Chain A
Amino acid sequence: MVDALQEAHRILVERGVFVDARPDSRVSARVRAKSARGTVIGTIGTQRPTKTDDLSSDKAVRDVLTRKLFRSRRRGRLWHAIPFEDVGELNDYLTDHLRFSKRVRWLAPASRRGPPLFVERAVRFEVLEKA
Chain B
Amino acid sequence: MSATASVGQFVPGGLGYLRPPAEIELGAYGIDLRGLRVADIGAGEGRLALGAARDAVSVLAVDPDRGALARGRAEARRQGISNIKFSEGAAQSLRLPDASFDVVIFSWTL
Given A19-B104, A22-B108, A60-B110, residue A4 in contact with residue B13 (CB < 8 A) = no
B101: chain A residues at CB < 8 Å are 11-13, 16
Determine whether the beta carbon of B31 is less than 8 Å from that of A127.
yes
Given A74-B4, A76-B28, A82 and B106 contact (CB-CB distance below 8 Å):
no
Number of A-B contacts (CB under 8 A): 144
**Chain A residue at smallest Cβ distance from B41:** A8
Question: B82: CB under 8 A from chain A?
Answer: no
Verify B5–A4 contact, CB threshold 8 A: no
> Given B39, B41, B100, B103, which contacts A4 in the complex, CB threshold below 8 Å?
B41
Which one of A12, A23, A83 has the highest number of Cβ atoms from chain B below 10 Å of its Cβ? A12
CB of A10 within 8 A of CB of B106, answer: no
Q: Given A79-B12, A82-B17, are A74 and B6 also a contact pair (CB < 8 Å)?
A: yes
Nearest-CB residue, chain B, relative to A20? B106
A123, B22: Cα distance in complex, Å:
13
Q: Which of B63-71, B72-80, B89-97 is the contact stretch?
A: B89-97
Interface string of B10-32 (1 = CB under 8 A from A): 11111111111000110011110
Q: In the complex, what residues of A have CB within 8 A of residue B41's CB?
A: 4, 7-8
- Name the distance in Å between A61's Cβ and chain B's nearest Cβ: 7
Contacting pair A7 B94 (CB below 8 A): yes
Partner of A78, one of B13, B94, B99, B110: B13
Instruction: Given the known inter-chain contacts A12-B99, A16-B103, A74-B2, please indicate yes or no for A22 contacting B109, CB distance below 8 A.
Output: yes
- Cβ B92 vs Cβ A4 within 8 A: yes
- Chain B nearest CB from A57 CB (Å) reads 4
